[in-house]
Amino acid sequence: MEAIKNRYEFVILFDVENGNPNGDPDAGNMPRVDPETGYGIVTDVCLKRKIRNYVEVVKEDEPGYRIYIKDGFPLNRSDNEACEYVGVNPNKLKEEKKKDSDLDRKLRDFMCRNFYDIRTFGAVMTTFVKGALNCGQVRGPVQLGFARSIDPVYPRVVTVTRIAITTEADAVEKDTEFGQKYIIPYGLYRAEGYVSANLARKTTGFSETDLELLWEAILNMFEHDHSAARGKMAVRKLIIFKHDTELGNAPAYKLFEAVKITRKDGIDLARSFADYEVEIGEIPEGVRCVCRG
């Protein structure tokens, strides 16, 4: 399939209600918060994991849409497939490269053709034996930044009781145990992303079909990933800026600054998406704006 021809930027608006959107292991798995401002944070790694999970669910390892980075699947196993395909010994790649100076590209192209997340986000595929050649590094055309909440968030610690007793000794003395859940009562988050048509053409072959799947995955990334810990999460709006050219017609920051999210008049503490207004200002010439969701 032919690579995309237009550059894109996009803004994702998603919210959480009574849940933990992204636990911080450095803070006992409390919701991530910027300690200086109180704004909530969700990492790019977390968001890309949701996109990968959605693609894996809807495609179910369909050829060309496998997922490279996934739970319970060693990376070496996929890397070895690339070596087998091009007919080289993964334990003797240094020697193989001396025979074929184009080996790096062949390995990279195999990985890009077969794995959607490599074609999209890129990957660092340096998992072969120490000192040997690897499948290389791929810089993906789709990049995401951290998501940040529109307003400061106020994490809560909720104490819960359970009837499941941990040990026999505890069962003699008590009928219940206490536990804790960490939640944010409500938070609206904004994430910004980029799609480079130039990298798609030169490196991974990210196509229009791949792009449509990306938009679909973003809009539905929480729909098959519900859990009690995360509460109610949903993508509320996806704002897409499409440039007329491969290299773009306006700086990304101008497009992001055109998207303004504010609380409605009279709302001091937002508790739902309906408490906010989303406005899109003037768009530079050569760029079109599409809203989904």
Percent of the chain scored above 70 by pLDDT?
Answer: 90
Mean pLDDT of 246-255: 98
Closest alpha carbon to 117 in 210, 196, 222: 210
**Rounded-to-integer distance, Cα 193 and Cα 248, Å:** 14
Pick the more confident residue, 202 or 91. 202
Give CA–CA dist 205/141, Å, rounded. 9
The pLDDT, as a whole number, for residue 133 is 44
Dist CA 287 CA 178 (whole Å): 55
What is the structure's pLDDT at 154? Answer: 93
Which pLDDT belongs to residue 170? 67
pLDDT tens digit sequence for 5-19? 999 999 999 999 999
Measured CA angle at 122 (ends 116, 125), to 5 deg: 100
Average pLDDT, the chain: 90
Q: What is the pLDDT of residue 189?
A: 98
Angstrom CA distances, 137 to 126, 219, 227, stand at 8, 28, 34
Q: What is the pLDDT of residues 56-82, one digit of tens each?
A: 999 998 999 999 988 877 777 777 777
Q: Judge contact between 225 and 58, C-beta under 8 A.
A: no
pLDDT of 23 strictly over 70: yes
